[in-house]
Structure 1
């Protein structure tokens, strides 16, 4: 283990922002435990080892208590310096057209599994009075997400929960930071079934996941409360506090409604 840096735990690290967050940790000298629910996490760990980090992959379904426990037991009481709770799942289409099993999986991945893991590792950090936690929230949490309603609502939870937990821990040696990106060029929209939408069909309007991750990592290391990535996303986040909710929902509809890519 890297004596000076320590151990970083990153979830959803097989691709996208999570992969790039793990790369940031590896480049900063941390050893890694990286988790995802797919076998590609083993390949990702090989990439991080090539940087010089010790990287242990854990294939676990973090939408379940059993998956969270599998990841936690892998730590074997090693102190965690950084916890980057990035695992998340999207879901497009109209709420009543979605399957209940898919809806529950989004909620269990984005909310339930996240708070279970943070609860376990956060208690260990509190005993040591040391640690940094990064949540991957989203500017989607500021907007009623028509045709992405469940996902946006889960991100509203993550954004809010992060700020609340930070306040609870303000007199400790633990910092909590919320990374709030906008649309990012990852596999998110494909996996969410949103490639026929305006928001999911134009990579030119999306942010680079490596840049997003770097901004989030640096904010965490500074102990910042939160960071919105990208100038246009900052404007959108500011507007969300001024524009009526009904208008925001209509704006989101134009971006996320199935078939909107052709309009």
Structure 2
């Protein structure tokens, strides 16, 4: 909106994608509670309600409903960020979805949407954000990866592969920016109590039925790691941190079998 352009810069500005619920909403709250104004994005109309919740912390919140699965949605979001007329001090690239099921059974259109959102939009926005931040040599980026990036995803193949891409990309960019004041942090949550499993049609799986971390804890640990300039944070519980440690030494065949046990639908 035009009134945003003329507002004085009194607070740092942050961008959070996938912010209508779950980890993204809690990340937006973290930014707001720590003195940031926030641009929040999601594809669904729930982003308006989410913006009101975040605004309760006293932040100025700008909701942008845009579908990042499309080039037009990416452009729409970035144009709104630029129209504010303020430097972007932090970004949390959190939007992502998954789908459960055998690779030969999942719908190709759904697979493609996952890759467009998790891989293409994350990469596009990371490039746009970092081009701006490196030009100023200032800024922080949090990229939501996953513990799934550390293992082959039997019965969750597209999702795990997309997060492996995101994790590899993030680590490469971290190395490229090692002499820069710009930091990039990878947030690697395990199963979290969000609507992810319902949307992925995985409620009847071991993952869907098993214990989950709270999105508040994941977001808090992610925000703290971002502000500390850490390269990655495995969030949130000790159990998830143990899985990440084991995955460093286990062979891929064993990890794939473990993912199959947890992701294959149960009768």
> Tell me, which stretches of 5 or more residues in structure 1 are unaligned?
none
In the alignment, is residue 20 of structure 1 matched against residue 26 of structure 2? Answer: yes
Structure 1 residue aligned with 2:136: 128
Aligned-pair CA distance for 1:239: 1.2
Paired residues of 1:196 and 1:258 also in contact (CA < 8 A) = yes
Deviations along 1:208-256, one digit per CA (max 9) or x if unpaired, are 1001000000000000000101211111111112111111111111100
Structure 2 residue aligned with 1:67: 73
Structure 2 residue aligned with 1:30: 36
Q: Secondary structure at the match of 2:101?
A: coil
Aligned-pair CA distance for 1:258: 1.3
Number of equivalenced pairs: 258
> Normalising by structure 1, what TM-score?
0.96
Structure 2 residue aligned with 1:173: 181
In the alignment, is residue 234 of structure 1 matched against residue 263 of structure 2? Answer: no
Match among 95, 98, 112 for residue 106 of structure 2: 98
Output the CA distance in 1 between the equivalents of 2:144 and 2:28: 13
Output the CA distance in 1 between the equivalents of 2:172 and 2:73: 25
> Normalising by structure 2, what TM-score?
0.94
Output the CA distance in 1 between the equivalents of 2:121 and 2:225: 24
Match among 1, 6, 11 for residue 17 of structure 2: 11
Output the CA distance in 2 between the equivalents of 1:4 and 1:221: 19
Match among 194, 206, 216 for residue 210 of structure 1: 216
> Tell me, which stretches of 5 or more residues in structure 2 are unaligned?
1-6
Paired residues of 1:141 and 1:156 also in contact (CA < 8 A) = yes
Paired residues of 1:68 and 1:117 also in contact (CA < 8 A) = yes
Q: Secondary structure at the match of 1:214?
A: helix
Aligned-pair CA distance for 1:170: 1.2
Cα RMSD for the two superposed structures: 1.2
Aligned-pair CA distance for 1:142: 0.5
Structure 2 residue aligned with 1:248: 255
Q: Secondary structure at the match of 2:185?
A: strand
Matches within 5 A, 1:33-52: 33-52=39-58
Relative to structure 1, the CA distance from residue 23 to residue 63 in structure 2 (aligned partners, 3 Å threshold; closer, same or farther) is same
Aligned-pair CA distance for 1:65: 1.3
Output the CA distance in 2 between the equivalents of 1:109 and 1:165: 19
Q: Secondary structure at the match of 2:120?
A: helix
| Residues 101-110 or 166-175, more deviating | 166-175
Deviations along 1:22-79, one digit per CA (max 9) or x if unpaired, are 0000000100100001000000001111211100100101111111110000011421
Relative to structure 1, the CA distance from residue 2 to residue 150 in structure 2 (aligned partners, 3 Å threshold; closer, same or farther) is farther
Paired residues of 1:11 and 1:36 also in contact (CA < 8 A) = yes
Output the CA distance in 2 between the equivalents of 1:254 and 1:55: 42
In the alignment, is residue 145 of structure 1 matched against residue 145 of structure 2? Answer: no
Structure 1 residue aligned with 2:3: none
Q: Structure 1 runs of 4+ off > 6 angstroms?
A: none
Match among 67, 75, 90 for residue 82 of structure 1: 90
Paired residues of 1:2 and 1:30 also in contact (CA < 8 A) = no
| Residues 184-193 or 47-56, more deviating | 47-56
Q: Secondary structure at the match of 1:243?
A: coil
Q: Secondary structure at the match of 2:180?
A: coil
Output the CA distance in 2 between the equivalents of 1:49 and 1:90: 29
